[in-house]
Amino acid sequence: MSKIFFSAIIIALAAIVSLGQAKPNSEISRQIASLRMEKNLSLDFDKNGNTSRIKAVTDNFSDRDVQRSGIQAMNFAMGFFYPGDVLKSAPDPIMLTFWVLTKKPRFAEAHDLKLLFGDETVDLGDARYVSKPRDNMEYLNFEISRANLSRIAQTRDVKLRIGNFEFSLTPEQRIVIAEILHVSEVGK
């Protein structure tokens, strides 16, 4: 009898600990509002599919970087889905998508992504590449670890090399990266 009682206490404690490490959508929404990031961060819940999505969208890269690469504009978005309306663990990896407005494809031949941290290069590999010429758009999709996103957010002068072109992250873009990491932390 005491073994059953002891087992029941262990199971109850484990349930309480695991509940304390989950984050409901209501709390995530409050965090987004308190950060004043509603322009860049969104939380959506699909009742029919019983899934939630957190998405972050940045402003465009600098005009200088855009002109140098021969495109019209480029920004990026990050996001992830999770079941239900409670985030139970921090997502890893996170989807990263570059949206490129261009009159002619610039990344069709070379669409790998490298993170340049001073003398160190982190190669994230080739994108899942999609071109929509009628819309003058290219999409480059990657998966990126929380560790790499955190490093980007904390590094003042990080550059991205996409294919043959380099782009410097703006301070605002780094803030958006830091904030999606912050709102998706669980149990801290």
Rounded average pLDDT over 59-67: 96
> Any idea which of 12-16, 153-157, 171-175 has the lowest mean pLDDT?
12-16
Q: Any idea what DSSP says for residue 21? A: T
Q: How far is Cα 175 from Cα 57, in angstroms, rounded to an integer?
A: 11
> 43 Cβ partners below 8 Å, 6+ apart?
25, 28, 29, 32, 52, 53, 54
pLDDT at 13: 40
Closest CA to 96 of 155, 139, 43, 52: 139
Q: How far is Cα 2 from Cα 45, in angstroms, rounded to an integer?
A: 44
pLDDT band at 188 (very low <50, low <70, confident <90, very high): low
pLDDT at 48: 97
Domains of the chain (ranges, CATH numbers): 24-183 (2.60.40)
Task: Answer whether residue 185 shows pLDDT above 60.
Answer: yes
pLDDT at 134: 95
* Predicted model pTM: 0.85
pLDDT band at 21 (very low <50, low <70, confident <90, very high): confident
